Amino acid sequence: MTTEQKTAARRLLGYGFLILFFELALIRFIPADVRYTAYFINLVLIAAFLGTGLGLMLEVRRWNITFLFAPLLLALIAACNYFANVIVEAPSMGEEYLWGIYEDISPAGRQWGVTPTVGLFFLLAALMFVPLGQAVGREFGKLPPLAAYGINILGNILGLAAFAAMSYWSTPPLTWFLLGGICFFALCRGKREWAVSLVCFPAVLFMAYRMFLPGHEVWSPYYKINFFQKPHAVFLNVNGSLHQLILDFSAKSVASNRYTAKTREDFLRPYRFVKHPDQVLILGAGTGNDVVMALEQNARHIDAVEIDPQIIRLGRELHFQKPYDDPRVTVYVDDARAFLKSTDRKYDLILLGTLDSQTLLSGMTSLRLDNYVYTVESFQSMREHLKPGGVLILYHMSPSFYIAYRIYAALYRVFDDPPLVHFQKPHRLFNYTLVAGPRRPDAAGEFFTVPVKKNPETGELLFPYPAATDDWPYLYLKEPAIPGHYLQVGGWIAVFSFVLVALALGRENRGKPDGSLFFLGAGFLLLETKSVTEMSLLFGSTWQVNVLVFLSVLLIVLAANLAVLRFPGVNRNTVFLALFASIVLGYGVPMQSLLVLPAASQWLVGGGLAALPLFFAGLAFAAIFQSRAQPVKSLGYNLVGAILGGLLEYSSMATGIKQLYVLALLMYFLAYFCLNRESPQLHAAKGGLL
């Protein structure tokens, strides 16, 4: 390797680091300040693919626009600052409930619709990645294609590791942008890049600092949390919306504060159905209100499970009754499903706190963080952890009736008996309380059941809003369909991407598109999304699981790349046959069926089923990529193809998550079809697939 190539390799490693680091940073930062983008946040991922792909295509035209990265980042941060104070009109279709989006529009306020707002942020995010993609392409062309691709992936791995460390230490965005700015500054070359960076990055840091509330703000691995202390309560907002309210349940406060007294009654109302709450499990324990109530009912032992470590910490520090300091309470920072799998303890009472979906499971999927908690399979697991005579109590804030009904239907199916329901109006911290399990009729009082029709021939229960399942866990959708606001945003992005790609390529480069690598990109993103959801189902929806899944995917891609470097004569028919077979195998073996296996076997079998198609897809990409006459342009097509895969991911709202395998299989068939009919001009003078 020459000196020039060594320099190019170091710079390529650095730009690969920056692309993934800023991608993850924006996935966290944008929805924290622009609330309504949280339900479209996988579009940041799509924007990163589009921007990077456009940058690679621009390199074919020998443009140097790397210096624009800092100003474009500044524009994005400025937009977040502005939109943090803008009222956004909620979609009127009523097909999906979106937490924290304003439905009452004030004529005096600054108003935007959801579609133009999300579209604007997609545009700004995509443009921000264009200079980084162009820089990658510039260094890429100085190295052999597969070697360059491997170095770029290694940089991505380092970027992922760095941001995971930032999340572990709960650092604020000021720290993220400071580290990213230092790394970009180290890669700058030429007076123009240095000068622009010196002007723009201090402005980025200043704006990030202005948006920070010292003493009232912490960043967990999931949320931006703001807390405000009052005499009888502490308000916790996450990503700009009220999430939890810590109340003072002391006798003095209850006697003097009507809201606290009424809320205490709401919490205690379902305990009339619990005979002896000796062993209690609280899922979604939050800052500790539910724990206080259980302790007041003389629980002998409480397992309190909360997914967010910072919310637990704030509960320890700020709750008036200090419930987490009680020796009867054991705290677990974990996902609800993951905890249920890890314990064999039986409980007299399992209580679900007011879990609600304020963020997505990850930046790769439209699933929300709590979607897998309210499925039939999840409630079945809870029932298995109840002692004979044990009771399940569920509090929920359901802004639409169909959401509560889905929970009702799931509990009815699992417990073979209609659960009891209490509806609170006006509501306080929740409006529905559901009780499942053995009950004493004389204790019902204000609780009721909902009549459910049966099929006269089969006796099957006919729910107007069927229960959510692990394959279709979309609790907040009114029916299995893609909501109109997703279709609007997706259509806008598709058109926008097509126009930008055409402009980036220029008239002279628009012919002979690389169809095989385009569809490989689409198929791979679908496989990656399916892996994220499957691993979350098996091992929990925690940020650590997501990091491990992303890291595993990158390592699999790197391993496939190294395998083709070591054995360059890979047969395309064999690779694609293995890829098709592994996808069919993954489709035929549902991940839910692995839940009965021991944890180690789940990791081995589940991880293997998810990894096999990713590995063969990586082999197919590397084997084709090494033959390309214009590898930078072809890589651009591959990244732009991922946009199609990202948009197709939304189809799972209508068809279920399992069908993503079918779509991935279709994308790979199209890739194989294009490969067998592609122009010889796409190939380098030597090499190619056997």
pLDDT, position 444: 57
* Nearest CA among 413, 443, 408 for reference residue 423: 408
Cis peptide leading into residue 231 (ω within 30°): no
Give the type of residue at 548.
Answer: L
* Structure confidence at residue 690 as a pLDDT band (50, 70, 90): very low
Beta bridge partners of residue 236, listed in sequence order: 227, 244
2 versus 183: which is more confidently predicted?
183
- Positive or negative, the CA dihedral 566, 567, 573, 574 is negative
**Residue 333, beta-bridge partner list:** 306
Residues 6+ away with beta carbon under 8 Å from 638: 53, 514, 517, 518, 520, 521, 621, 625
The pLDDT of residue 287: 95
Residue 634 has pLDDT above 60, yes or no: yes
Q: Could you tell me which CATH number the domain at 224-358+376-462 has?
A: 3.40.50.150
551-572 residue pLDDT tens:
999 999 999 999 999 888 878 8
CA distance 524 to 668: 9
- Give the mean model confidence (pLDDT) for residues 190-202: 92
Q: From 81, 86, 82, 80, select the one nearest 105 (Cα to Cα).
A: 86
Percent of the chain with pLDDT over 70: 89
- In three state form, how does the secondary structure of 2-71 look? CHHHHHHHHHHHHHHHHHHHHHHHHHHHHHHHCHHHHHHCHHHHHHHHHHHHHHHHHHHCCCCCHHHHHH
Nearest C-alpha neighbor of 33 from the set 70, 2, 71, 78: 78
Least reliable range by pLDDT among 2-11, 289-298, 486-495: 486-495
How many Cβ atoms from other residues are within 10 Å of residue 193's Cβ? 21
**Please, where in the chain does CATH 3.40.50.150 lie?**
224-358+376-462
Buried b (16+ CB within 10 A) or exposed e, 33-43: bbbbbbbbbbb
* 211 Ramachandran zone, left/alpha/beta (phi>0; psi -120 to 50): alpha
- 536-552 pLDDT per residue, tens: 777 777 888 888 888 99
For 138, residues 6+ apart whose C-beta sits below 8 A from its C-beta are 59, 64, 66
How does DSSP assign 420-446, residue by residue?
Answer: EEEE-SS-SS-SEEEEESS--GGG-TT
Stated as kind and residue range, the H or E segment containing 674 is: helix 660-675
Q: Which residue has the higher pLDDT, 115 or 128?
A: 128
pLDDT at position 156, please? 96
d(CA 18, CA 129): 10
| Per-residue b or e along 329-341, where b marks 16 or more CB atoms closer than 10 Å to that residue's CB | bebbbbbbbbbbb
Q: Poorest-confidence range of 44-58, 176-190, 414-428, 588-602? A: 588-602
pLDDT at residue 488, as a whole number: 85
Q: Quote the pLDDT of residue 164.
A: 95
Pick from 446, 444, 472, 452: nearest CA to 408? 452
Higher pLDDT among residues 64 and 49, named by residue: 49
Could you say which DSSP state residue 279 is in? E
Query: What pLDDT shows up at residue 97?
Result: 57
- Which of 256-270, 315-329, 437-451, 562-576 is least confident? 437-451
Structure tokens at 171: 């650092």
Q: Which residue has the higher pLDDT, 596 or 309?
A: 309
Of residues 290 and 473, the one with the higher pLDDT is: 290
Phi-psi region of 653 (alpha: psi -120 to 50; beta: other; left: phi over 0): alpha
Residues of the chain with CATH 1.20.1250: 3-213+477-682
Q: What's the pLDDT score for residue 569?
A: 80
Output the six-digit token pair for 532.
């994220």
Confidence of residue 441 (pLDDT cuts 50, 70, 90): low
pLDDT at 59 exceeding the cut of 90: no
The answer to whether the CB of 97 falls within 8 A of the CB of 399 is yes
pLDDT at 686: 47
Q: What is the mean pLDDT of the chain?
A: 87
Q: What is the pLDDT of residues 213-257, one digit of tens each?
A: 888 999 999 889 999 999 889 999 888 778 899 999 999 999 999
pLDDT at 517: 94
Q: Collapsing DSSP states into helix, strand and coil, what is residue 386?
A: strand
Whether residue 681 has pLDDT greater than 70: no
C-alpha span between 345 and 348 (Å, rounded): 10
Q: Where does the pLDDT of residue 364 fall: very low under 50, low under 70, confident under 90, or very high at 90 and above?
A: very low
Contacts of 676 (CB under 8 A, 6+ apart): none
pLDDT of residue 104: 38
Residues facing residue 404 across a β-bridge: none
pLDDT over 80 (residue 684):
no
Q: How confident is the model at residue 414 (pLDDT cuts 50, 70, 90)?
A: very high
CATH 1.20.1250 fits 3-213+477-682, yes or no: yes
Strands 279-283 and 241-247: unpaired
Single pTM value for the model: 0.90
Average pLDDT over residues 512-529: 91
pLDDT band at 44 (very low <50, low <70, confident <90, very high): confident
Please answer whether residues 286 and 353 qualify as being in contact, where contact means their C-beta atoms are separated by less than 8 angstroms. Answer: yes
Radius of gyration (C-alpha) of the chain in whole angstroms: 26
Q: What is the mean pLDDT of residues 579-592?
A: 86
C-alpha atoms less than 13 angstroms from C-alpha of 162 in its C-beta half-sphere: 24
